Amino acid sequence: MTIDLNYSTKAKNFKNTRDLGKAVYDFSKAKGYSNTSSNDN
């Protein structure tokens, strides 16, 4: 049960991380930064 719960939580957090990562990437690009993110892996 805990494994399933952790998996679903990680899956939800993964989507949130992707969304946040994209927002940070867009913001960084707008600011002129060119650092790459590991969130795309």
The pLDDT assigned to 3 comes to 64
pLDDT tens for residues 15-25? 888 888 888 88
Give me 4's structure tokens. 């399933």
Q: What is the spatial distance between Cα 34 and Cα 28, in angstroms, rounded to a whole number?
A: 7
Model pTM greater than 0.85?
no
Q: What is the spatial distance between Cα 10 and Cα 20, in angstroms, rounded to a whole number?
A: 15
pLDDT tens for residues 3-41? 677 778 877 877 888 888 888 888 888 877 655 555 554
Q: Are 18 and 39 in contact (CB under 8 A)?
A: yes
For the chain, which residues make up each domain, given as ranges?
1-26
Question: Three-class SS of residue 1?
Answer: coil
